[in-house]
A and B are shown apart, each in its own frame.
Chain A
Amino acid sequence: TQLLEQSPQFLSIQEGENLTVYCNSSSVFSSLQWYRQEPGEGPVLLVTVVTGGEVKKLKRLTFQFGDARKDSSLHITAAQPGDTGLYLCAGDGGNYQLIWGAGTKLIIKP
Chain B
Amino acid sequence: DVKVTQSSRYLVKRTGEKVFLECVQDMDHENMFWYRQDPGLGLRLIYFSYDVKMKEKGDIPEGYSVSREKKERFSLILESASTNQTSMYLCASRGGANVLTFGAGSRLTVL
Contacts and interface: CB of A to CB of B under 8 A. Distances in A.
Chain B interface, DSSP helix/strand/loop, else mixed: strand
Given A31-B97, A42-B4, A42-B90, A100 B102 contact: no
Interface residues of B, number: 23
Given A42-B90, A42-B92, A102 B98 contact: no
A43 interface: yes
Contacts of A90: 43, 100
A6 B43 CA distance: 13
Contacts of A101: 42
A42 B102 contact: yes
Interface stretch (A11-19, A58-66, A69-77, A91-99): A91-99
* Interface footprint category on A: 20 to 34
Contacts of A31: 97-98
B110 interface: no
A40 interface: yes
Contact of B45 (A9, A33, A97): A97
9 contacts: A33-B98, A41-B105, A42-B103, A43-B90, A43-B102, A48-B97, A90-B43, A90-B100, A96-B50
Interface of A: 6, 9, 31, 33, 40-45, 48, 88, 90, 92, 96-98, 100-103
Interface of B: 4, 31, 40-45, 48, 50, 58, 90, 92, 94, 97-105
Counting from the closest, the 7 A-B pairs by CB-CB distance are: A42-B102, A102-B42, A100-B42, A100-B43, A92-B98, A43-B102, A41-B104
Given A43-B90, A88-B42, A97-B58, 18 more contacts: A33-B98, A33-B99, A40-B104, A41-B104, A42-B4, A42-B103, A42-B105, A43-B43, A43-B102, A45-B100, A48-B99, A90-B100, A92-B98, A96-B31, A96-B50, A100-B43, A102-B40, A103-B42
